[in-house]
Amino acid sequence: MLDYSSFVIDDFDINDYANTILAGELYPQHQTQFTKPGMGAASKDDISVTISKLDSSIENVGKQIKSLVCNYIVTLRCF
């Protein structure tokens, strides 16, 4: 069962949620304005590094897919 309670909090901030998830942290269920994650320069740097790693991983997956398609092109044409 999925838990949607984080999204119905009155002061829910989508940017804080995205930054927390991209940083690999758990988003607090009940947070106040004083405990929001992702505030400050250090977290922005962390997010940049995380996004860079994600971009690199996506490029790697694309290369792997291209390699597999090239290796199995004859088999794929039969479908």
Q: Three-state SS for 48?
A: helix
Nearest to 5 by CA among 25, 22, 23, 30: 30
The reported pTM is 0.42
Higher per-residue confidence, 17 vs 32:
17
Per-residue confidence at 1, pLDDT binned at 50, 70, 90?
A: very low
Q: What are the structural domain ranges in the chain?
A: 5-77
Q: What pLDDT score was predicted for residue 31?
A: 52
Rounded Cα gap, residues 12 and 30, in angstroms: 9
Residue with tokens 């199995």: 72
